[in-house]
Amino acid sequence: MLRYTLMRLGIFVGCLVVVWGLVYSGIAPRGLGDSNYMWVVLLSLLLSAPISFVVLRKERDRASEHVVARVDRMKANLEQNRSQEDSVVDDATGAHGQPS
């Protein structure tokens, strides 16, 4: 998961550098007034999202498999804890459902 996040951040930084270069060379339009930095960041986000979606598809699938496996383990542990608690309660109440 950390690898995917770092790769996505790297793509964003790369887009940020490219957009900054395009804006300051005059190829891309500048923002209005003092909003130039916000314009560069927003344009970089807009460009990096579809690039990340396409380029990092395999890494994203791998990360989601790890998340699913982790959730399944947590569910199994929770169910095991519930069954242990049920057996303790059943042993304490005896066969008639009355506390002993």
Helix/strand/coil for 27: coil
Task: Give the tens place of pLDDT for each residue, 20-58.
Answer: 999 888 888 887 666 788 989 999 999 999 999 999 999
The torsion angle over the Cα atoms of residues 56, 61, 64 and 69, rounded to 10 degrees, is: -140
Q: Give residue limits of the domains in the chain.
A: 2-91
Task: With 0.95 as the threshold, say if the pTM is over it.
Answer: no
